[in-house]
Each structure stands twice: as C-alpha cells, then as structure tokens.
Amino acid sequence: MAIVRDFTFQGAEMLLVLLLSPLLTGFVRKVKARLLRRQGPPLLQPYRDLVRLMRKEVVLAEGASWLFRVIPYIVFAGTWVATSLVPTFGSGLLFSWSADLIAIIALLGSARFFLALAGLDVGTAFGGIGSSREVMIASLAEPAMLMIVFTLALIAGSTQLSTMAAYMVSSAVGLRVSLGLALLALIMVAIAENARIPVDNPATHLELTMVHEAMVLEYSGRHLALIDLSSELKLLLYISAIACLFVPWGIAPPDASPQMLALGVVSYLGKLVVGGTLLAVFETSIAKMRVFRVPAFLGAALMLGLLATLLLFVSRSL
Amino acid sequence: MIVVYTLYGVAALMTLAPIAVFFGGSARANGITYGASLIVSLTLCTMALLTLVGHASGSSVTLPFGLPWLGAHFRIDALSAFFLVVVNLGGATASLFAIGYGRHEDTPQRVLPFYPVYLAAMNLVVLAADAFSFLVSWEFMSLASWALVIAHHRDRENLRAGYVYLLMASFGTTALLLAFGLLAGSNGDYAFDAIRAAHPSAGLAALVLILALIGTGSKAGVVPLHAWLPLAHPAAPSQVSALMSGVMTKVAVYGFVRIVFDLLGTPAWWWSMPVLAAGGITAVMGVLYALMQHDLKRLLAYHTVENIGIIFIGLGLALAFKAYGMDVAAALALTAALFHVFNHSVFKSLLFFGAGAVLNATGERDMEHLGGLIHRMPQTAFVFLVGCVAISALPPLNGFVSEWLTFQAILLSPQIPSWGLKLLVPAVGALLALSAALAAACFVKAFGVSFLGRARTPQAAAAQETDRNSLAAMYFLAALCLVAGILPGIFIDGLAPVTNMLAGTSMPHQTGLQWLTIVPIAESRSSYNGLLVFLFVTLSGSIAAFAIHRLASDRLRRAPAWDCGYPDPSPATQYTASSFAQPIRRVYGTAVFRAREIGEMPPPGATTPARLTVELRDLIWDAAYAPIAGLIGFTAERLNVLQFLTIRRYLTLVFTALVLLLLVLAIWQ
C-alpha cells in the first residue's frame, strides 16, 4: 500500500508542476500588466498559447540537424524531472533521493547546455549571440548557485532537498547571517536563470539585448511549445525551491494526513501567489541592464554565496 | 605471478618496436602493430582488472637489471592495478582507433616503432617498485612520447613543441630524481619497501612533497608547469594525443599518489594546502585557456589541464582529511579523485579520437574552418557529443558523478580544525564550481562551432564519415561514459581496495543499495542515482514526444532560416569560435589574459575591409618562462667565449677549477 501511495504522490507532484507552471507565468504577466495599468492577457493565456503552438506545424530551418529536433524534448524532460524533484506541497517524494540539490542544478545545466547548442545549430547570427551570452551568464550563475547550495548544505548537514526543508522548518535553524546572504544570492541567481528583468527580458523580440529569446529564435510549433513550457517549469522550480528552503512552513511531512496535505497544497499555492507578485513588482520597478553589467550583478551573487560559505566554515553558528 | 605475466606483456610490446622498424614501410605494418598492441593491452587490462576486483594481494618480482646491488623491483598492488587498468584501457582503445586512423599516416615509420614502446613504458612506470626502475621507465615514457610528438617534424610548430616538451620533461625528472634521492637517504636504499619503512623527518618530507608536486605536476600539467602540454599533446598523431592527455597525465598522477600517499608516510596538515591551491588554480586557468582557443586539439589539451586540477583538488582534500585522521572523508575524497582519473581518461580519449576523425576527414584542426560536420559525419558527431556532455560534468554521464563526489568531500571539510584550510577549502570549492560551469561553456563552443551550423570551408562541406574501427573505439568509450555515469556504484566499489590501501578505509559498499543509488556517507546527507535520473529523463522525453506526435501535430515543413528576417547565405555570418568566446573573454579575459580588442574601421568611402584584432597575453609565460629563457640565453651567450680560448688559458682554467674545488672540500671537512 505504501508504495502505491508513494507513487501516487510522486505522480501527483509531476502533474501538478506541469499543470501549474503556465498558470504561474500567466499570473506574473497579469500582475505586471495590472501594475502598468493595462488589462493584460487572461490568466489562462499561456495554456492557450501552448495548445495553439502544439497544433501548428513545425517550420524547420533548412540546415537544421537531427539534434535540433531532439533538443526540445531533452530540455523539456530535464527541466520537468528537475522540477518534480523539488518538494512543493509535501516533502515525501518517492524519488527525492535519486537526485540531491547539486544534481538538480546540474540537470538544469544539462538542459541549458543543449539549448545553447540548439542556438548554434542552424548557423544564424542571432542564435550565436543568444548562445554565447547564455553560457556567459551561466558561467557565473552556476557557481553562485553551487555556493548557495554549499551554504545551505553546511547548515542543514545534507544536500537532499527534503532533508533540508525538514531541517529549515525545525527550530534548530534560527536567524543566521549566512542564510540571509544565501537568500539574497539565490534571488539574484533565480532572476538571471529565468531570464527576467533586469538580466534579460522575457517579453522582447527583435532586440539586440535579448539572450534567451535569441537562442530559441528558430524554433516553431511543438518544439517552441516545449521550450516555452520548460522555461515556465524553470520559473516554478526556482520559486518552489526558494519557498521550500526559506519559507518551508506548511509543507506536509512524508506520512501526512489528508488534512495536512490539503494544508500543504493551500500554503504552496499561497507561496506561489506571493512569489509571483513579488517578481512582478520587482520587474516593473527596475530597468533592464546592459548585457555587460550582468557579470557584475552575478559576480555579486557569487561573492555573497562565497561569503556565506566562508562564514559557515569559520563558525557553525553564523 | 600476475606481475610476471604483466611483464611478459610489456616485453611483447617492446618486441613490437623492432618489428615495426623493419616492416614499417609495408602496407600491413599498420594493422599488425596496432592490432598486436590492441591484443596485448586488452590482456593486460583484463589481468589488472582481475587483480583489482579479486583483491589479490600484491605480487612482486625482482629482476637482475638496473643498479647492481638493487636489481629491478616490480610489483602490483591495488594502486598500480587500478592505474594499469586506466593505462591499458586507454592503450587498447587508442590501438583500435589507430587501426583505421593510422592508415592515413604519411610517415608511418616515425610513429609505429615508438607507439608500442610508449605503451610499454607507461606500464613499466606503474609497475616499478624501486626508485631506479621508476625513473628509468619515467624517462623512457617521456622520450618515447617526445619522439611521437615530433613525428610530423616538418611542421616548425611541432618542432618547437617537442623542444619545450623535452626541456620540461627533463626538468620534471630532475625534480623527481631529487625527491627520490632525499627519500632514499645517503645509503641508497632505493627499493620502495625500504623507503616506506624509513620515516623521513618533517623538513625532509616537506621538501620531498614540493619536489614531487613539481616533478609529477610538470608531467600532469599543473599550472604554472603546464606550458608544454598544450603545445605537445596536439602535435602528436591523434591516437597518441589521446594517450598523452588521457593516460600519461594519469601516470603522472599515479607518481604523485605513490610518493605522497604511499611512500612519504603520515601527512602533516599543511601538505594539503599547496596541493589544493595548485589544483584550484589549475582547474580555472586550464578551462579559461581552453575557452580562448580555436584549435580543436589544443582546446582539448588545455582542458586536460583543467581536469588535472580537479583531480588534484580531490587529492588535496584527501591529504587534509588523512592528516586529521578523518579516514572516511579521506576515502571519499580519494575515491572522487581516482574516479575522475578513470572518467577523464575515458572521455578525453574519446574527444581526441573525435578530433582525430575530424582532422582526417577535413585536414583541419582550426574550428574556424569547420562547421556543419553533424550532417557529414553523424556518428562521429554523436559520440563527440556524448564526450562533451560527460566532460562538462552534466548528469547522467560519468563526469558529473566524480565532480559530485568531490563536492560532497568539500562539504565534509568544515570539520577540519586548521584555520588555513578553513579559509582555503571554500575558495577552492568556488574555483571548482566556476571551472565546472566554464567547462560547459567551453564544450558548447567546441561542439557547436565544429559540428553544428553551416560548413565554413569546402573541406568541411566535403567531409566523409570516419572508418569502422575508429567508430568502434569511440562508441565503446561513449558507452563506458554512460555506464560509469548511471552505475557509478560498481566503479566506486572497484576503487575500494585502493582507498583501503591508501586511506585505511573505503567508502561504504555501494552496489547492494536499493536501485543502485550511491550514498557517500549517509542517505539523509546525500545520495545520487544516475540510473533513475537517466530513466526519468528518457521516459519523460519519450512520453512527451509520443503524446505530442499522437495528440497534437507531427507535421513538419522545411523552410529557409528565419533569423529575424535577415538571413544571410554566407556561412561567414555565423558565430565563430572567437566570437562565441567574446562575452566570456570580456568578463574574465581582461584580468587573466590582458585581452584587448582593437577595431580598425576604414574611413568613410575607403574600400579596405574593417578589421578586429584580439590580443591575448599569456601572463604565466611572460612572468615565469620568458625571463628564465632570457636568462639562460644571456648566460649561454656570455659563456660562449669559453669555446674559443688558447690552450694556455684552458690549462689555467682547469687548474683554477681544481684548486677551488679542493679548497671547497677542505673547508667542508
């Protein structure tokens, strides 16, 4: 019985993140539009976009290789698996031990690796500009993220997300300087990783400053739908990870009763609403920066992460 | 007994050399030499594997060569068995690759005789159990590889590479000679057993450590002693490049492990500091250098430097843990380092084979002249891609597992009491993270520019897929990358005898765990299951593909590239290797390489083309090598006068020298 329950739980988690992620993106867009005093697209617009794209034919560039056609599936699968390993409403995920936080980061790294290759596959200038900038941003964001993982792992004594969440909700944590630094760094990395303002603009096209959109410019139809869904999943992943590590209250423990699970779902949705709103407010209140200001931004995140780790090496209580 | 059979194998490889000398000109020589090398290497590899897995206790033999009072000692223990596996696996795949690849060699007589000798010498280094045989084999290995580096000696660059290599190799051997001299003491007890039994004083041990780091580090490519490596490794024929990068650097790592972990006794806490610092700097500098290259083989060679850094980080951590008696942590760090030794030898050989196949098909090593090869050489492209993913430390392949283990070892290090290490280890961790991220960027560039996009030259457009033997070698290594990535427990358990020998304990038994997960310390701490990650990703990708094709749409239409409405038919408008690296060069290069971009715009109306020149300076070469070379040149110039003296002056010179030496001796006594 237990194994059936665990499988259902894991399956529910996978479906939940898949179904919620377009809604989250729609929600952020809506709040942004409202903040700009626009009506904004309806909340369900991302679903409609996905369905429309899926039904369309793929217009494949001449000279695109087999790799170009496989990459959307690899990127989607990698991102989906990574997202479904992050505890959302409950921490009793069946397969949570199959990949710890470092492996989740690395899975996202694999997805990015292939996406950057896709940018180079057709052999256009826009694809190249996107890929080269993406790897530049990643070369700083990934180490920063790893330093954050180090900080959290040293505090919680584990790199398993579920163990970390359980530790964070216990009273042993307390207020720590290193946690504050790590949270700040994590938010900076999350903004960069999800191609949000001020690092990149998710709503732009035909602009020399774009990064992510330039890389996927040649994709269309179902391929584009998968890439879009992957970036929506990634946004959900980062908000879930921040929620599970820094505001872990309400997450249902592994052997939770139905009431606690319901509470977990409600509190998770609440966290997503708060996270999405904060993101939208942040994005509307700041201008996009020049591409070569990004290294300074991410370098700061890396330094914050390193500082937090150093503090923990110096004293376990900081 | 096993050591005797191994020596027979080595002797068989040696006898191949004269055969190749006599018959090198004939058409069959290629197949016979490489085929025989393949068979012998496979046999040796199997024997070493059986020794390692069968926990066979060390067997040794003493042969009546070498120093008259010593003889030549050879011995196989767990450590040498593991490295024998690495060496002979590399040797076997390189031979298989070369059966096809070597056919295109212009001057086979310059390659064939040295190739088996080189393999034999690497085996001998690992087998040697006394300082004399070790050094002789080491030098033998250096010279054989040097001969292979200058095989294509008509290229001036290769000659220079050979020259720098020879200098650095003799420098490294000198350091090792001194290290062993200090270890053996004044009574000349050069057998490893005698050295192990003697306990050197703290100061002496420190000196030996530094000398060993210099001696083996110069062969392995530790920054700043790496200068020869990116010149020499690409200059050799590709199967030899693969051996030099994938295997010989590992033999150097073996030398370091043998001296520092085995012969030198219990480490002091500070020993780890130079090793960790060298490892961290080597990792980041190696990958930054690699990113700036547009020669495919040189990029790979620089990337070897990075991986050596990662291995030395693992070894440094192991030393630190061992010094404080944290045996479990030491075993973890050592396993991480040795697993990376194995992994790197696999994927670096694979990548060099791929580069060799490209070189054969197009005659080009310069990535700016390649492009679009995935259409012409789909199989090579596929296996090269596997190698790129593996070396970039991305799951579910093997590079990720060993780096993950290294990270886990770093996370255990706050328990180390010393303050110096408390500050150094997080910094090294950050450098390791940085190098991992930059490695991915580097291989996006390597694969993307060479294999994707449109062909930049007619040669690239007319490339042909490589032959079946070469493909078989590459497919085998690619499969090994996957197997070691998804079933790492087997490999970690295989390393247990080595860590038992060097750290006194081993990581917990892995293969019995549920779903073949690996758990370094405890499940609540960290675990990773490559198999499940691989299955999940494959399954969800296939389900998505199936569902979309079935339920939504599977129509497809080919059309010109969109490119925001401005597609240009010329392949020159694609991103090149140097333009791809431009953002990274701008972020890191200005500080590390003093990178400068000089744009020359012609005045309005002029018909001359605009130019962009990129200047990079190798600060390490400028700061360390150039002054030494200048000093030697200057001294040699001055001393040149001595060659043109009269007989009277020579006699005076000799007499003065004699008197001076006697005086020194008199004062000394």
Given an 8 Å threshold on Cβ–Cβ distance, is A61 in contact with B378?
Answer: no
Q: What is the pLDDT of residue B402?
A: 94
- What local confidence, expressed as pLDDT, does residue A172 receive? 74
DSSP B111-167: TTTHHHHHHHHHHHHHHB-BHHHHHHHHHHHHHHHHHHHGGGTTSHHHHHHHHHHHH
The answer on pLDDT for B515 being more than 80 is no
Cβ of B430 and A131 within 8 Å?
no
CA distance A266 to A175: 26
Scan for tokens 């010498």, then name that residue. B121
Mind spelling out the 3-state secondary structure of B195-262?
HHHCCCCHHHHHHHHHHHHHHHHHHHCCCCCCCCHHHHHHHCCHHHHHHHHHHHHHHHHHHHHHHHHH
Q: How confident is the model at residue B57 (pLDDT cuts 50, 70, 90)?
A: low
pLDDT score, position A243:
92
Give how far Cα B12 sits from Cα of A67, B9, B86, Å: 45, 5, 19
Min Cα separation B589/chain A (Å): 12
Q: What is the pLDDT of residues B522-580, one digit of tens each?
A: 777 888 888 989 999 999 999 999 999 999 888 999 999 988 888 888 888 899 999 99
What percentage of chain B reaches a pLDDT higher than 70? 99
CA distances from A267 to A232, A264, B302 (A): 20, 5, 50
Nearest residue in chain B measured CA to CA from A167 = B524
Residues A240, A234: contact at Cβ < 8 Å? no
What are the DSSP E strand ranges found in chain A?
58-61
Cβ contact B544–A54 (<8 Å): no
pLDDT at B514 over 80: no
Tell me the chain A residues in contact with residue B381 when contact means C-beta distances shorter than 8 Å.
Answer: 67
Place of tokens 């007589």: B109
List, for residues B175-189, the tens digit of each pLDDT value: 999 999 999 877 778
What is the reported pLDDT for B58? 65
**What is the helix (H) or strand (E) element at residue A202, kind and residue range?**
none
Does the structure show a pLDDT above 90 at B96? yes
Cα separation values, A151 from A186, B34, B229, B250, B403, Å: 11, 51, 36, 33, 18
Contact B339, B491 (CB under 8 A): yes
Looking at the structure of chain A, the number of domains it has is: 1
CB contact under 8 A, A306 and B426: yes
A139 contacts on B by Cβ (under 8 Å): 434, 437-438, 440-441, 584, 587
Please report residues of B whose CB lies closer than 8 A to that of A138: 437, 440-441
Tokens of A75: 């990127």
Least confident of A223-227, A256-260, B228-232, B414-418: A256-260
pLDDT surpassing 70 at residue B471 = yes
Cβ atoms within 10 Å, residue B134: 24
Q: What is the pLDDT of residues B570-623, one digit of tens each?
A: 888 899 999 999 999 999 988 889 988 888 888 888 888 888 888 888 889 999
Tally the residues of chain B: 669
Q: Which residue of B has its CA nearest to A141?
A: B437
**pLDDT recorded at residue A87:** 87
Q: Can you give the pLDDT at residue B485? A: 94
Task: Select from B394, B229, B211 the least CA-distant residue to B302.
Answer: B229
Which chain B residues are within 8 Å of A125, Cβ to Cβ? 563, 568, 573-575
Cβ burial of A55 (10 Å; 0-12, 13-18, 19+) is: middle
CB pair distance less than 8 Å for B440 and A163:
no
Count Cβ–Cβ pairs < 8 Å, chain A vs chain B.
Answer: 288
Q: Is the pLDDT of residue B199 over 90?
A: no
Domain that holds residue A238: 2-314
Which among B490, B539, B542 is positioned nearest to B512, based on CA atoms? B490
Taking the C-alpha atoms of residue A62 and residue A122, their distance in angstroms, rounded to an integer, is: 8
Q: Which residues from A are below 8 Å from B409, CB to CB?
A: none
Residue B389 φ/ψ, nearest 5 degrees? -65, -40
pTM comes to 0.95
Residues of chain A with pLDDT under 70: 1, 92, 204-209
What are φ and ψ of residue B64, in 5° steps? Answer: -80, 50
pLDDT of residue B56: 62
Q: Is the pLDDT of residue B60 over 90?
A: no
pLDDT tens digits, one per residue of B143-198: 999 999 999 988 899 999 999 999 999 999 999 999 999 998 777 788 998 998 88
Q: Which residue of A has its CA nearest to B571?
A: A123
Query: Is the CB of residue A106 less than 8 Å away from at least one CB of chain B?
Result: yes
Q: Can you give the pLDDT at residue B105?
A: 82
What is the residue extent of each domain of chain B?
Answer: 582-602+609-617, 623-668
Q: B74 pairs with which residues across the strands? A: B61, B128
- Say if A2 is an interface residue toward chain B (CB within 8 Å): no
What is the predicted pLDDT for the residue at B180? 93
Q: Averaged over B9-15, what is the pLDDT?
A: 93
The token pair at B440 is 């991915």
ipTM exceeding cut-off 0.85 for this assembly: yes
Nearest Cα of chain A lies from the Cα of B644 at a distance, in angstroms, of 59
Mutate to test the interface with B, among A120, A150, A318 (most CBs of B within 10 A): A120
Nearest CA in chain A to B537: A77
Token digits of residue B666? 């008199």
Q: Which residues of B touch A61 (CB under 8 A)?
A: 558-562
Average pLDDT over residues B235-261: 95
pLDDT of residue B102: 83
Please tell me the predicted confidence (pLDDT) of residue A29: 94
CA atoms lying within 13 Å on the CB side of residue B279: 29
